Amino acid sequence: MSQTDAHLRELLRATTGRGVSRRGFLRGAGLAGLAVGAPNLLAACGTQGAKQAAGECVSKDLSATEKKMKFSNWPLYIDEKRVKQGGSKVTVYPTLQKFEDQTGITVDYVTDINDNNEFFGIVRNQLADCQSTGRDMFALTDYMAARMIDLGWIQELDKANMPNVEANLSESLRSPSWDPERKYSAPWQSGLTGIAYNADLTGEVKSFDELLTRSDLKGKVSLLSEMHDTMLFMLLLEGADPADFTADEYAAAIERLDKSVQAGQIRAFTGNEYAQDLSKGNIVACEAWSGDIIQLQFDNPNIKFIAPEEGLAIWSDNMIVPNKATHKANAEKWMDFYYQPEIAAELAAWVNYICPVDGAKQAMEKIDPSLVDNELIFPGQDLLAKTYSMMGLDSKTEQDYQQQFAAVTGA
């Protein structure tokens, strides 16, 4: 376990007494100094001259003779267990061990993704120059996976090697706008973005419109510092489709957000530090990620997560294989292994985010029955019908929209 992982776990225990999955303390800015600042973020968006055309960057797969692979993931995003080894305790990953035992493939599992844009900056030069990143697979959020696919940096998957993915991938996640046939990606975990409020301190907050306009909430509200999360809801408020919107609609949504900021409605734009603020009463309502609220509810069931009247955002962190990865078939076996319902349920019981695997809910009966009916892990069709995703953006548009968002949020 890295020093970063250990530090984050101690921070969470001080707040809630539990461990937490990767979005709990790493996706947003501010905590433990892991997020990138706006200048670095915007620099990472520029990719002129970096695009690879089909057939330009050919990769050789050595999986048949080399039973190994390297997977870069976010910290605290796989099931863990502390076991005695020699005279001390060490952290092991039970499902990873099962994969190695069943396949004979040795996994170098590294937790070196702390921020999508930061990681993009780490690997962009190699991928732009058709060089190896030293990794066979990594897990990135929808918009970043979309950007890399658009740049031609990601290898098409061989679905014949992944029958479990084909059979068990949740219908709601099968056709994102940026990879409609899932030729290049498979979700690792998914989650929802909505509204959380502290029922000890305020009445129910039913919509983003209320969050941005209700006078009793003025100065007691936070929104997320992730542009894609927050602007999805601003677009919905404008009557636009987040999966298919125009530059004019985005400009109108930015203007709406700016009005709320200028009116003093928004206390802050944050990463996951909103979880501590909500628990301590520094804010009473906020834009929130579903997995965080599951964790907070263990200590305070009066912290509520609701689906806003406008709808919910749904996102995924996606397994993708970069160009020049040399163990693609081994990575595909990993994907296929984790799409077995029993394995998926074991993983979901630890990370507490939406499980992308059909059949895992039934398998959860034997692992942790208390989670079977939790709609933030196994959402029903009624809830999923309320979800929206942000469309994939090309690099130039991404940079433009990030700059507009930063100008409003003060990033």
Q: Return the top range by mean pLDDT from 84-93, 265-274, 300-309.
A: 300-309
Report domain extents, the chain: 51-190+317-377, 191-314+398-409
Is the pLDDT reported for residue 225 higher than 90? no
pLDDT at position 120: 92
* pTM for the predicted model, two decimal places: 0.78
Return the minimum-mean-pLDDT range out of 123-127, 280-284, 349-353: 349-353
Tokens of 225: 């510092």
Mean pLDDT over the full length of the chain: 87
Confidence of residue 75 (pLDDT cuts 50, 70, 90): confident
Q: Per mean pLDDT, which range of 2-6, 49-53, 381-385 is the poorest?
A: 2-6
Place 49 in a pLDDT band, splitting at 50, 70 and 90. Answer: low
Structure tokens at 108: 């170098």
Please, where are the H alpha helices in 238-339? 247-262, 273-280, 290-297, 328-338
Fold of 51-190+317-377: D-Maltodextrin-Binding Protein; domain 2 (3.40.190)
Contacting residues for 51 by C-beta, under 8 A, at least 6 apart? 150, 151, 152
In this structure, are residues 254 and 234 in contact, taking their beta carbons and an 8 Å threshold? yes
pLDDT digits (tens, 9 = 90+) for 175-192: 998 899 999 999 999 989
CATH 3.20.20.70 describes domain 191-314+398-409? no
Encode pLDDT of 292-307 as tens digits: 888 788 889 999 999 9
Please enumerate in sequence order all residues whose Cβ is within 8 A of that of 48, keeping only pairs 6 or more positions apart, or say none.
Answer: 395
- Rounded CA gap, 260 and 287, in Å? 14
Report yes or no: 399 and 42 within 8 Å, Cβ to Cβ. Answer: yes
Residue 50 has pLDDT above 70, yes or no: yes
User: How many CA atoms are closer than 13 Å to the CA of 388, on its beta-carbon side?
Assistant: 26
The larger pLDDT score, comparing residue 96 to residue 11, is at 96
Torsion sign (Cα): 111, 114, 120, 124: negative
Q: Which of 44-58, 110-124, 266-280, 315-329 has the highest mean pLDDT?
A: 315-329
pLDDT value of residue 29: 31
Strands 266-270 and 221-224: parallel
The dihedral over CA atoms of 98, 101, 106, 110, expressed in degrees to the nearest 10, equals: 20
